Copies of this chain bind each other. A is one copy, B any other.
Amino acid sequence: MTQSQADDLSKSLKAIADPARLRLISIIAASEGQEACVCDLTEPLNIGQPTVSHHLKVLTEAGFVTRSKRGTWAYYKLVPGALDSLARLLVTA
């Protein structure tokens, strides 16, 4: 594995290597259409709303979720296959 490959893979791993972000992914994955509103994510995690917003931004920039605003609400949806392809990279490593 080259240095830049290792850099890329570690960036993806760092993005999900956080308890709060793992739980966010878990909740979104269990939601209808694998999509959830921020209001459904703030309460069950015991962390403040700005922190949730921050974690969702990290996950979005890493390509694990996408954001779509409908009215006042922001909905985050899992990117299909993103987690699977990361898992495949792991066993190939």
Contacts and interface: CB of A to CB of B under 8 A. Distances in A.
Interface of A: 1, 3, 6-7, 9-10, 13-14, 16-20, 22-23, 25-26, 29, 83-84, 86-88, 90-91, 93
Contacts of A16: 10, 13, 90
Given A1-B23, A22-B93, 11 more contacts: A1-B22, A3-B19, A6-B19, A9-B19, A10-B19, A13-B13, A14-B14, A26-B93, A86-B90, A87-B88, A87-B90
A13 B17 contact: yes
A62 to B, nearest CB: 11
Nearest to A1: B26
